[in-house]
């Protein structure tokens, strides 16, 4: 995609150094190196995992030296692209890089790892873990579906002590999503109303769900109606901590981050500039 997009950009005499992220951590390291070299805009081409690595590299550099990011969606879910209305066609991407504007968005953080869209614990994180070996011999969407079924057979709720903006909840947690944007991979509208620039998460929790109830909540989530389920709650919050009676499975931007005895989620308001289409932008803007 980049070879075609590059021909659409005006000739400025500037160099466009590129890195192919063929191994874990490479995109993060390349983004950090570009930021420390004084780069103005970093273009990340790939899926949400590539975006997550690039974001974590950029966040190693403090403002005002942190570059903007232009995300070219080339993955399966492309959740941030959906949330921000980013184009997916090569022509549309070229137009955004030529004449887009900068929009500030919030960045989530959990135990020192940054994320742009949603981080979660419990059932959905276990699905991410289960899908990893399946992807070696199965495409992304079938692997995810198989991982959901496998997790349904084995998962049980975990007793978790939550503090949501200082208010304590002790509950049998099936899942928790700390949402900076409203969509999950696979088309689940998990956090209707979540905004990437309002300085807070929308926390969505499912408690003590049976297998059938979990499937029902997933079905409803395609339209956002799961928030009406009696075992699903949602709260706006800037800081959330969680401690479980066993280590908690964690993912961020769909990337598996392991199991943790305790977790702290917080939001960093306006921490990242993203290049977005000129029409429909809000907030802090300027030419690329």
> pLDDT at residue 281 above 70?
no
Identify the weakest region by mean pLDDT among 53-57, 94-98, 111-115, 212-216.
94-98
Residues 67 and 207 in one domain: no
Looking at residue 164, its pLDDT comes to: 96
Q: Has residue 105 been placed in a domain?
A: yes
Looking at residue 12, its pLDDT comes to: 59
Residues 164 and 41 in one domain: no
Q: Has residue 136 been placed in a domain?
A: yes
- What's the domain range around 121? 115-267
Looking at residue 6, its pLDDT comes to: 79
How far apart CA 123 and CA 33 sit, in angstroms, is 35
Residues 71 and 176 in one domain: no
Per residue in 64-105, pLDDT (tens digit) is: 999 999 998 887 778 888 889 898 888 888 889 888 999 999
Residues 135 and 202 in one domain: yes
Residues 99 and 15 in one domain: yes
Q: Has residue 284 been placed in a domain?
A: no
Per residue in 222-232, pLDDT (tens digit) is: 999 999 999 99
Looking at residue 15, its pLDDT comes to: 66
CATH code of residue 26: 3.40.50.10330
Q: Has residue 53 been placed in a domain?
A: yes
Q: Has residue 13 been placed in a domain?
A: yes
Residues 8 and 95 in one domain: yes
Looking at residue 141, its pLDDT comes to: 75
Residues 147 and 224 in one domain: yes
Residues 70 and 104 in one domain: yes
Q: Has residue 283 been placed in a domain?
A: no
> pLDDT at residue 214 above 90?
yes
Residues 59 and 43 in one domain: yes
Looking at residue 19, its pLDDT comes to: 82
Residues 102 and 130 in one domain: no
The tally of domains found in the chain comes to: 2
> pLDDT at residue 286 above 70?
no
Q: Has residue 282 been placed in a domain?
A: no
Looking at residue 14, its pLDDT comes to: 63
How far apart CA 196 and CA 276 sit, in angstroms, is 13
Q: Has residue 285 been placed in a domain?
A: no
CATH code of residue 194: 2.60.200.40
> pLDDT at residue 283 above 70?
no
Q: Rounded to two decimals, what is the model's pTM?
A: 0.90
* CB of 95 closer than 8 Å to CB of 87: yes
Residues 131 and 257 in one domain: yes
Residues 171 and 46 in one domain: no
Looking at residue 13, its pLDDT comes to: 58
Residues 169-183: b if buried by 16+ CB within 10 A, e if exposed:
bebebbbbbbbbbbb
């Amino acid at each position: 995609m980049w070879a075609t997009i590059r021909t659409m950009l005006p000739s400025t005499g500037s160099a466009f150094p590129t890195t192919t992220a063929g191994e874990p951590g490479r995109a993060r390291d390349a983004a950090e190196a570009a930021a420390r070299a004084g780069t103005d805009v970093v273009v990340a081409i790939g899926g949400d995992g590539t975006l997550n690595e690039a974001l974590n590299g950029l966040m190693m550099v403090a403002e005002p030296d942190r570059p903007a990011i232009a995300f070219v969606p080339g993955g399966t879910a492309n959740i941030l692209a959906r949330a921000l209305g980013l184009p997916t066609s090569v022509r549309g991407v070229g137009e955004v890089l030529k004449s887009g504007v900068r929009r500030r968005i919030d960045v989530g953080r959990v135990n020192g790892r940054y994320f742009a869209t949603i981080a979660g614990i419990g059932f959905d994180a276990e699905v991410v873990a289960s899908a990893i070996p399946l992807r070696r011999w199965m495409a992304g969407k079938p692997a995810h579906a198989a991982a959901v079924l496998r997790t349904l057979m084995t998962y049980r709720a975990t007793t978790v002590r939550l503090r949501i903006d200082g208010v304590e909840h002790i509950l049998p947690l099936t899942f928790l999503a700390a949402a900076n944007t409203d969509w999950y991979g696979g088309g689940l509208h998990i956090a209707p109303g979540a905004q990437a620039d309002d300085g807070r998460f929308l926390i969505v929790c499912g408690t003590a769900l049976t297998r059938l109830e979990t499937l029902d909540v997933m079905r409803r989530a395609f339209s956002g109606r799961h928030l009406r389920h009696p075992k699903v709650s949602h709260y706006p919050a800037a800081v959330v901590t969680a401690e479980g009676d066993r280590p908690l499975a964690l993912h961020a931007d769909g990337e598996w981050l392991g199991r943790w005895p305790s977790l702290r989620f917080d939001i960093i308001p306006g921490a990242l500039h993203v290049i977005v289409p000129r029409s429909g932008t809000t907030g802090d803007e300027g030419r690329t």
